[in-house]
Amino acid sequence: MEPEQTNPYKLAMTYGLYLGGITIFISIIVWATALMEKLGLWGSMGMGFINLFVLIFLLLYFTKLYRDDHLNGKITFGNAFVFGVLIVLFSSIVSALYNYIFTKYIDPEYAQRIITMLQDKTYQWMSSRGLSQTQIDDAMTKFDKQEIPTPIDSLISSLKFGLFGGTIMSLISSAIVKKNPHKDDAFEEAMEDVKTNETSQE
Protein backbone atom coordinates (compact mmCIF):
# COMPACT_ATOMS: atom_id res chain seq x y z
CA MET A 1 0.00 0.00 0.00
CA GLU A 2 1.48 3.35 -1.02
CA PRO A 3 1.87 5.96 1.76
CA GLU A 4 -0.67 8.76 1.69
CA GLN A 5 0.79 11.95 0.20
CA THR A 6 0.11 14.89 2.50
CA ASN A 7 1.43 18.43 2.78
CA PRO A 8 3.78 18.27 5.82
CA TYR A 9 3.02 21.88 6.79
CA LYS A 10 -0.72 21.22 6.85
CA LEU A 11 -0.18 18.01 8.79
CA ALA A 12 2.11 19.75 11.29
CA MET A 13 -0.52 22.45 11.75
CA THR A 14 -3.17 19.81 12.46
CA TYR A 15 -0.98 18.03 14.99
CA GLY A 16 0.00 21.39 16.49
CA LEU A 17 -3.68 22.20 17.03
CA TYR A 18 -4.11 18.82 18.74
CA LEU A 19 -1.11 19.44 21.00
CA GLY A 20 -2.23 22.97 21.79
CA GLY A 21 -5.76 21.76 22.54
CA ILE A 22 -4.49 19.09 24.93
CA THR A 23 -2.25 21.63 26.68
CA ILE A 24 -5.19 24.03 27.07
CA PHE A 25 -7.40 21.20 28.37
CA ILE A 26 -4.83 20.38 31.08
CA SER A 27 -4.61 24.07 32.02
CA ILE A 28 -8.40 24.34 32.33
CA ILE A 29 -8.54 21.25 34.57
CA VAL A 30 -5.78 22.66 36.79
CA TRP A 31 -7.57 26.01 37.04
CA ALA A 32 -11.08 24.60 37.55
CA THR A 33 -9.96 22.22 40.31
CA ALA A 34 -7.65 24.80 41.97
CA LEU A 35 -4.95 22.15 41.72
CA MET A 36 -2.07 24.61 41.89
CA GLU A 37 -3.42 26.06 45.13
CA LYS A 38 -3.84 22.57 46.61
CA LEU A 39 -0.41 21.32 45.59
CA GLY A 40 1.32 24.35 47.04
CA LEU A 41 5.05 24.84 46.53
CA TRP A 42 5.45 21.74 44.38
CA GLY A 43 2.48 22.53 42.17
CA SER A 44 4.37 24.50 39.53
CA MET A 45 7.17 21.94 39.36
CA GLY A 46 4.71 19.05 39.15
CA MET A 47 2.70 20.67 36.38
CA GLY A 48 5.91 21.49 34.55
CA PHE A 49 6.90 17.81 34.53
CA ILE A 50 3.43 16.80 33.35
CA ASN A 51 3.47 19.28 30.48
CA LEU A 52 7.00 18.17 29.56
CA PHE A 53 5.94 14.52 29.48
CA VAL A 54 2.90 15.32 27.35
CA LEU A 55 5.03 17.34 24.92
CA ILE A 56 7.66 14.62 24.48
CA PHE A 57 5.10 11.82 24.17
CA LEU A 58 2.97 13.62 21.58
CA LEU A 59 5.97 14.80 19.55
CA LEU A 60 7.19 11.21 19.38
CA TYR A 61 3.72 9.94 18.53
CA PHE A 62 2.94 12.53 15.84
CA THR A 63 6.37 12.34 14.20
CA LYS A 64 6.23 8.53 14.16
CA LEU A 65 2.73 8.73 12.69
CA TYR A 66 4.00 11.06 9.97
CA ARG A 67 6.94 8.75 9.25
CA ASP A 68 4.94 5.54 9.06
CA ASP A 69 1.75 6.77 7.37
CA HIS A 70 3.18 9.32 4.94
CA LEU A 71 6.89 8.53 4.38
CA ASN A 72 6.83 4.78 4.01
CA GLY A 73 8.34 4.25 7.47
CA LYS A 74 11.53 6.27 6.82
CA ILE A 75 12.55 9.78 7.84
CA THR A 76 15.83 11.63 8.26
CA PHE A 77 16.79 13.38 11.48
CA GLY A 78 16.53 16.77 9.75
CA ASN A 79 13.03 16.17 8.40
CA ALA A 80 11.84 14.82 11.75
CA PHE A 81 13.31 17.84 13.54
CA VAL A 82 11.70 20.38 11.19
CA PHE A 83 8.37 18.58 11.44
CA GLY A 84 8.57 18.58 15.25
CA VAL A 85 9.46 22.29 15.39
CA LEU A 86 6.50 23.11 13.13
CA ILE A 87 4.18 21.18 15.45
CA VAL A 88 5.53 23.11 18.43
CA LEU A 89 5.25 26.41 16.56
CA PHE A 90 1.54 25.98 15.83
CA SER A 91 0.91 24.57 19.30
CA SER A 92 2.68 27.52 20.96
CA ILE A 93 0.61 30.02 18.97
CA VAL A 94 -2.62 28.33 20.08
CA SER A 95 -1.50 28.12 23.72
CA ALA A 96 -0.26 31.72 23.74
CA LEU A 97 -3.58 33.01 22.42
CA TYR A 98 -5.41 31.03 25.09
CA ASN A 99 -3.14 32.41 27.83
CA TYR A 100 -3.82 35.93 26.60
CA ILE A 101 -7.60 35.39 26.66
CA PHE A 102 -7.40 33.68 30.05
CA THR A 103 -5.35 36.40 31.76
CA LYS A 104 -7.31 39.25 30.20
CA TYR A 105 -10.91 38.02 30.28
CA ILE A 106 -11.45 34.71 32.08
CA ASP A 107 -9.52 35.10 35.35
CA PRO A 108 -7.28 38.20 35.47
CA GLU A 109 -6.58 37.65 39.20
CA TYR A 110 -5.33 34.07 38.84
CA ALA A 111 -1.63 34.93 38.68
CA GLN A 112 -1.92 37.12 41.78
CA ARG A 113 -3.66 34.32 43.70
CA ILE A 114 -0.90 31.87 42.78
CA ILE A 115 1.83 34.29 43.89
CA THR A 116 -0.01 34.97 47.18
CA MET A 117 -0.42 31.25 47.75
CA LEU A 118 3.27 30.62 47.08
CA GLN A 119 4.19 33.44 49.44
CA ASP A 120 2.05 31.97 52.26
CA LYS A 121 3.37 28.45 51.69
CA THR A 122 6.95 29.70 51.60
CA TYR A 123 6.43 31.59 54.85
CA GLN A 124 5.01 28.49 56.54
CA TRP A 125 7.79 26.26 55.24
CA MET A 126 10.58 28.64 56.32
CA SER A 127 9.00 29.12 59.72
CA SER A 128 8.69 25.36 60.25
CA ARG A 129 12.38 24.93 59.40
CA GLY A 130 13.43 27.42 62.05
CA LEU A 131 14.86 30.06 59.72
CA SER A 132 15.49 33.50 61.16
CA GLN A 133 12.93 36.25 60.81
CA THR A 134 15.42 38.23 58.71
CA GLN A 135 15.69 35.42 56.19
CA ILE A 136 11.93 35.06 56.08
CA ASP A 137 11.44 38.81 55.61
CA ASP A 138 13.96 38.84 52.74
CA ALA A 139 12.07 36.05 50.98
CA MET A 140 8.73 37.78 51.51
CA THR A 141 10.15 41.03 50.12
CA LYS A 142 11.08 39.25 46.88
CA PHE A 143 7.48 38.10 46.52
CA ASP A 144 6.21 41.64 47.15
CA LYS A 145 8.49 43.00 44.42
CA GLN A 146 7.41 40.40 41.89
CA GLU A 147 5.36 41.98 39.11
CA ILE A 148 2.18 40.38 37.82
CA PRO A 149 2.52 39.67 34.08
CA THR A 150 0.15 41.51 31.78
CA PRO A 151 -1.86 39.57 29.17
CA ILE A 152 0.66 40.66 26.53
CA ASP A 153 3.55 39.52 28.75
CA SER A 154 1.85 36.14 29.17
CA LEU A 155 1.37 35.81 25.43
CA ILE A 156 5.01 36.64 24.66
CA SER A 157 6.43 34.40 27.40
CA SER A 158 4.21 31.50 26.26
CA LEU A 159 5.59 31.82 22.74
CA LYS A 160 9.20 32.10 23.92
CA PHE A 161 9.16 29.22 26.37
CA GLY A 162 7.02 27.06 24.12
CA LEU A 163 9.33 27.45 21.13
CA PHE A 164 12.55 27.11 23.14
CA GLY A 165 11.43 24.06 25.09
CA GLY A 166 9.76 22.57 22.03
CA THR A 167 12.91 22.91 19.96
CA ILE A 168 14.92 21.02 22.57
CA MET A 169 12.26 18.32 22.77
CA SER A 170 12.15 18.09 18.97
CA LEU A 171 15.88 17.32 18.94
CA ILE A 172 15.27 14.43 21.32
CA SER A 173 12.20 13.07 19.54
CA SER A 174 13.90 13.33 16.13
CA ALA A 175 16.88 11.31 17.34
CA ILE A 176 14.50 8.57 18.50
CA VAL A 177 12.11 8.50 15.54
CA LYS A 178 14.59 8.94 12.65
CA LYS A 179 15.06 6.09 10.17
CA ASN A 180 17.57 6.73 7.41
CA PRO A 181 15.73 6.33 4.08
CA HIS A 182 19.00 5.43 2.32
CA LYS A 183 20.20 2.80 4.75
CA ASP A 184 18.14 -0.09 3.40
CA ASP A 185 19.00 0.85 -0.19
CA ALA A 186 22.70 0.86 0.64
CA PHE A 187 22.43 -2.58 2.23
CA GLU A 188 20.60 -3.96 -0.78
CA GLU A 189 23.23 -2.51 -3.14
CA ALA A 190 26.00 -4.09 -1.08
CA MET A 191 24.29 -7.47 -1.19
CA GLU A 192 23.88 -7.18 -4.96
CA ASP A 193 27.62 -6.48 -5.30
CA VAL A 194 28.41 -9.58 -3.24
CA LYS A 195 26.16 -11.72 -5.39
CA THR A 196 27.70 -10.28 -8.55
CA ASN A 197 31.21 -11.04 -7.32
CA GLU A 198 30.27 -14.59 -6.41
CA THR A 199 28.72 -15.15 -9.84
CA SER A 200 31.78 -13.79 -11.69
CA GLN A 201 34.11 -16.05 -9.69
CA GLU A 202 32.08 -19.10 -10.66
Number of domains in the chain: 1
Residue 2 reports pLDDT greater than 80: no
pLDDT, the chain, mean = 81
Segments forming the whole domain that contains residue 171: 8-180
Q: Does residue 38 sit within a domain? A: yes
Q: Does residue 187 sit within a domain? A: no
Q: Does residue 105 sit within a domain? A: yes
Q: Does residue 3 sit within a domain? A: no
- Give pLDDT, residue 159: 82
Q: Does residue 69 sit within a domain? A: yes
Give the pLDDT confidence of 89-147 residue by residue, as tens digits. 999 899 889 988 998 899 998 888 888 888 888 888 888 887 888 888 888 888 777 77
Cβ-contact 178, 76 below 8 angstroms = yes
What is the Cα–Cα distance from 80 to 188, expressed in whole angstroms? Answer: 24
Q: Does residue 55 sit within a domain? A: yes
Q: Does residue 199 sit within a domain? A: no
Residues in contact with 154: Cβ distance below 8 Å, sequence separation at least 6, in sequence order: 96, 99, 100, 102, 103, 111
Top mean-pLDDT range of 5-9, 67-71, 113-117, 191-195: 67-71
What is the greatest pairwise CA distance in the chain? Answer: 92
Give the number of other CB atoms < 10 A from CB of residue 127: 11
Q: Does residue 194 sit within a domain? A: no
Give the pLDDT confidence of 58-85 residue by residue, as tens digits. 999 999 999 998 888 889 999 999 999 9
Strand ranges (E), the chain = none
